Structure 1
């Protein structure tokens, strides 16, 4: 089996690591404050902004999964993770006898479409926000490093125990109705499964596309999502926000390439995931 380094062992990184350990892989995890008990993942206490810390990574790895999240939404935090930290790790690991391949966890924030357009992996990437531009540059760094490297662009990840959308529905917020504002999402459990599948395909030497977009089958208007949640929670239906006809509509994410690769979603629609979340909320 393979040696895998996970750069960023937060909740998602640790779950990915556990899934790979269960399959027999030898997994190492970089974390600033690792747990004291080893539960399968071999943790390495390290900060990616410290080259001295990264020199502790003395094991030769077959694959690096880069799955870090910034501490906050500031430009400084994004550059720390997706520019300085990423470049430090690549530079240190490039000194190994055989440089590893990288699987980079990215975001659909690299797209700038806002009029309800469908986007896929070939769609133009012209993010308006600085943070999206920083992530796009990180993607380009990864793909230029090795032709076997791969990028996964995730839409909004939900299902990790957060209740902010449920709370917003209960609070009876005003929601854009017309024109529709499209939302894209992927359940956390499917997120783990996508990373696991592509990691194993990379290790097997399968021919892959450089980029995969990971989002469920149902890019739905925000109004529909709130209305559905209100119905299953027994809450008041959302109020309509009055907006002009040129209001932002966001984008719709296509998962065709990922499904052609063989991935099958457990949570195909927001209804599948939020039905579970609502049931837990209602007790």
Structure 2
């Protein structure tokens, strides 16, 4: 049994906490406003940006997960988490190994290129630059820390693409605008899997790209969703050759380690969402 800290117990963090608790691990969750009744998780009310509540936290952890979402999309929101908050935690837990949830937004490739963990990560937006600097800070502080770059997360409660597909939107068709995604259950699965591998003594890489097997053009995805929901097809939008975030993410390193995706492509995950959610129109 390991003593685990999860910093940021939103949807993903809470799901992970329950999975790890069910496996017998002792789990402490850091949350600014923790629930009043939660038997399986030891919550600590703390704010990493201000440092409030960190002194009340046990420092003897075997593993820390960092799964924090900024309050907004501004530079100051991201700086509060990925700079100030990160430094506050590192000062409190300098020796504890981390698994840090990052984003494929750190890649600036825009012509449909394949990217993997060794591809240049040179983001152009200030918010993604702050995430990238946080990655570098973590690896410099402890080479045993692990970065996990998630692509677009979807699942129950994350259904914006379904709503868009229902409105016959204008979508780029040529050249293909590739999109990458991962179901939220696979996000939790990947994080729990990496912890299991670490506890089993396997040598892990400093970075893993977590995205499903099918980097599909947005036109294909939205057309499939519209047909499945019995909605009008999207209309073609003409654009230039460059499009922000147009890339294809390779998950080979993660799969070579042994992870098996529960939702290997968008049809598996979105079919379940539509059928279970009653979203067919």
TM norm. shorter chain > 0.5: yes
In structure 2, the residue matched to 1:282 is 280
Shift in Å, 1:203? 2.7
Structure 1 residue 85 corresponds to structure 2 residue 85: yes
1:129 & 1:200 partners in 2: Cα distance?
34
Asked if the contact 1:103–1:149 (Cα under 8 Å) also holds between the matched residues in 2, the reply is: yes
The total of aligned residue pairs comes to 279
* SS of residue paired to 2:99: strand
1:81 & 1:9 partners in 2: Cα distance?
14
In structure 1, the residue matched to 2:119 is 123
Asked if the contact 1:184–1:216 (Cα under 8 Å) also holds between the matched residues in 2, the reply is: yes
In structure 2, the residue matched to 1:112 is 108
Unaligned runs of 5+ in 2: none
* SS of residue paired to 1:224: helix
Q: Which of 111, 133, 136 in structure 2 is aligned with 1:137?
A: 133
In structure 2, the residue matched to 1:73 is 73
Asked if the contact 2:110–2:242 (Cα under 8 Å) also holds between the matched residues in 1, the reply is: no
Alignment TM-score, normalising by the size of structure 2: 0.96
Asked if the contact 1:109–1:132 (Cα under 8 Å) also holds between the matched residues in 2, the reply is: yes
Asked if the contact 2:107–2:245 (Cα under 8 Å) also holds between the matched residues in 1, the reply is: no
Q: Which of 145, 168, 175 in structure 1 is aligned with 2:171?
A: 175
Asked if the contact 1:51–1:92 (Cα under 8 Å) also holds between the matched residues in 2, the reply is: no
Structure 1 residue 42 corresponds to structure 2 residue 38: no
Shift in Å, 1:219? 0.2
Structure 1 residue 266 corresponds to structure 2 residue 242: no
The runs of at least 4 aligned residues of structure 1 exceeding 6 Å deviation read: none
Please show how residues 129-168 of structure 1 align to structure 2 within 5 Å.
129-168=125-164
1:19-57 CA-partner distances (Å, limit 9, x unpaired): 000010000000000000123110000000233421111
2:234 & 2:148 partners in 1: Cα distance?
33
In structure 1, the residue matched to 2:18 is 18
1:204 & 1:65 partners in 2: Cα distance?
17
Identify the range of structure 1 (43-52 vs 223-232) with the bigger mean alpha-carbon deviation.
43-52
* SS of residue paired to 1:263: coil
Shift in Å, 1:200? 2.0
1:71-90 CA-partner distances (Å, limit 9, x unpaired): 11111111111110011011
Alignment TM-score, normalising by the size of structure 1: 0.95
